[in-house]
Copies of this chain bind each other. A is one copy, B any other.
């Protein structure tokens, strides 16, 4: 049996540059389908178009909320070079564009001599010693039924007492045993509850999300760090870093989100 992630992000092609997909209700955040999940669907269409194997960076602009149901995807190859290639994708539902993304692909399997990891992964106790966060705890947040979050310490807002922490560190993996790869990471970087919940904010909607994919992840748990630097003019940022089980920085993301 395949994984839920692979089934729920699969695309079918009809004519060149056009794809269909089905947005399911299994990856809901507070306000409906999670933005990282939608980006993971877009990525499936993009990789069909690209001559290079690996997404290096993706930037998604969220235009309107997506709905559960069929979606169309239109891709456009912008440039295809020796070392990288770039394309665009739009997701459309009921005739209205829901999101648009740009992406550059390359090859993360190239032999490269320089390797500098200048930022340490979070120092976390083993996942077994952490709390399983939020399984079924928040109604309609079905993404928590698919992703296993392990927090060494629960953020204050979980107990109704926002503690004003600008940073969370924790483990993540898919519950069904599907190992991480470059396809799942764009989901993962948007899958955690927003840091601003610990500042008594109850909702947040992503305007833009950029994901940098730095290395093909090894199997196992992912160590995560998420940070917000400012809430200003009705918007907040959120930076996400993921290290794999070998301690390699495999993904970084940056988003700008709007408060209701």
A86 touching B63 by the CB < 8 A rule? Answer: yes
- B208 engages A57 (CB within 8 Å): yes
A130 CB-CB contact with B under 8 Å: no
Against B, the Cβ 8 Å flags (1 = close, 0 = not) of A78-97 are 11000110101000000001
Task: Closest B residue to A253 by CB, please name it.
Answer: B254
Tallying the copies of this chain within the complex gives 2
Docked Cα-Cα span, A102 to B83, in Å, equals 23
Within 8 A of B (CB), among A212-260: 212, 214-215, 228-235, 237, 239, 241, 248-249, 252, 254, 256, 258-259
Q: Is the CB of A229 within 8 A of B208?
A: no
Chain A contact residues (Cβ within 8 angstroms of B): what range? 35 or more
A159 sits at the interface (CB 8 A):
no
Partner of A61, one of B104, B229, B231: B104
Within the assembled complex, what's the spacing in Å between the Cα atoms of A64 and B106? 15
Q: How far is the CA of A83 from the CA of B63 in the complex (A)?
A: 11
Contacts of A83 on B, CB cut-off 8 Å? 258
Are A207's CB and B56's CB within 8 A?
yes
- In the complex, the answer to whether A86 meets B100 with C-beta atoms within 8 Å is yes
Given contacts A83-B258, A97-B79, A228-B118, contact A210 B210 (CB under 8 A): yes
